[in-house]
């Protein structure tokens, strides 16, 4: 589903991403963890062709993301509030994204149904622009918009950040639902080790731009990660 080849990003002489090879199979849910500045967001931006690599390539289903737009039809993502259109209401934004993917109003309503718990009656029918929602609720709008097209590949940067505890648990259940029922391939970064291992079957640790661990999640993973991050 996703292949990274000899990927490097250098800023001001510093290598911030350096990944010789990474392959993610269709249907895998991958958790990306690493301390502040490890390069997680930069890697996502390279994968989504938001920035150009210093060296190397990213292929989404064999499409070089820097050379074609085709991958955008089957990729959904939310990295930050910059992905939102802040002068629209949530409904107008979902309609905008739905139109890009040829969805009817009925399709949009149906695709948003699994999000109702997470929305907690605070997103739809609020008569409020996206810019006036709280950070947590903006994140919920962005995640729903990313998943709206039922993408084969879903990329989320720190989806649990800014969410209250109830919302974090609802989001965890929702991501599991998307993984199991919609067979989405997922790439999710998080600083919450316990949430990410509950959603993801494979965990990658990024340190100073390099993938230093690649592990399948099992009953020991949380302890191993806590040990790794205990300095």
Ligand X SMILES: Nc1ncnc2c1ncn2[C@@H]1O[C@H](COP(=O)(O)OP(=O)(O)OP(=O)(O)O)[C@@H](O)[C@H]1O
Reduced to 3 states (helix: H, G, I; strand: E, B; else coil), residue 28 is: coil
β-sheet bridge partners, residue 11: 14
Are the C-beta atoms of residues 117 and 167 closer than 8 Å to each other? no
**Beta carbons within 8 Å of 161's beta carbon, 6+ residues apart:** 139, 190, 191
How far apart are the C-alpha atoms of 6 and 210, rounded to whole Å?
11
How far apart are the C-alpha atoms of 70 and 83, rounded to whole Å?
19
Cβ count near 140 (within 10 Å): 26
Residues contributing to the site for ligand X (CB under 6 A):
11-12, 16, 34, 36-42
Q: Considering the complex, what minimum distance in angstroms separates the CB of residue 25 from ligand X?
A: 24
Q: Which is nearer to ligand X, 150 or 210 (CB)?
A: 210
Q: Considering the complex, what minimum distance in angstroms separates the CB of residue 103 from ligand X?
A: 31
Q: Considering the complex, what minimum distance in angstroms separates the CB of residue 205 from ligand X?
A: 11
Q: Considering the complex, what minimum distance in angstroms separates the CB of residue 52 from ligand X?
A: 12
Are the C-beta atoms of residues 95 and 105 closer than 8 Å to each other? yes
Q: Considering the complex, what minimum distance in angstroms separates the CB of residue 179 from ligand X?
A: 23
Q: Which is nearer to ligand X, 124 or 161 (CB)?
A: 161
Q: Which is nearer to ligand X, 189 or 221 (CB)?
A: 189
Q: Which is nearer to ligand X, 8 or 120 (CB)?
A: 8
Q: Which is nearer to ligand X, 149 or 168 (CB)?
A: 168
Q: For the stretch 27-38, what's the b/e string if a residue is b when 16 or more beta carbons lie within 10 angstroms of its beta carbon?
A: ebbbbbbbeeeb
């Amino acid at each position: 589903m996703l292949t990274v080849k000899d990927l490097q990003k250098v800023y001001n002489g510093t290598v911030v991403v350096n990944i010789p090879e990474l392959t993610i199979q269709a249907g895998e849910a991958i958790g990306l963890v690493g301390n502040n500045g490890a390069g997680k967001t930069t890697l996502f931006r390279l994968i989504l062709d938001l920035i150009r690599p210093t060296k190397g390539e990213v292929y989404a289903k064999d499409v070089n993301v820097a050379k074609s737009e085709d991958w955008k039809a089957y990729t959904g993502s939310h990295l930050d509030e910059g992905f939102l259109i802040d002068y629209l209401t949530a409904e107008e934004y979902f309609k905008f994204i739905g139109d890009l993917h040829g969805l009817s109003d009925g399709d949009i309503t149906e695709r948003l149904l699994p999000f109702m718990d997470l929305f907690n009656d605070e997103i739809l029918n609020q008569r409020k622009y996206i810019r006036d929602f709280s950070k947590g609720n903006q994140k919920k709008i962005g995640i729903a918009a990313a998943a709206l097209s039922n993408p084969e590949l879903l990329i989320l940067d720190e989806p649990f950040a800014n969410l209250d505890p109830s919302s974090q648990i609802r989001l965890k259940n929702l991501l599991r639902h998307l993984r199991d029922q919609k067979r989405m391939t997922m790439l999710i970064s998080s600083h919450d080790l316990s949430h990410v291992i509950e959603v993801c079957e494979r965990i990658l640790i990024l340190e100073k731009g390099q993938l230093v661990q690649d592990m399948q999640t099992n009953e020991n993973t949380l302890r191993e990660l806590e040990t790794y991050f205990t300095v």
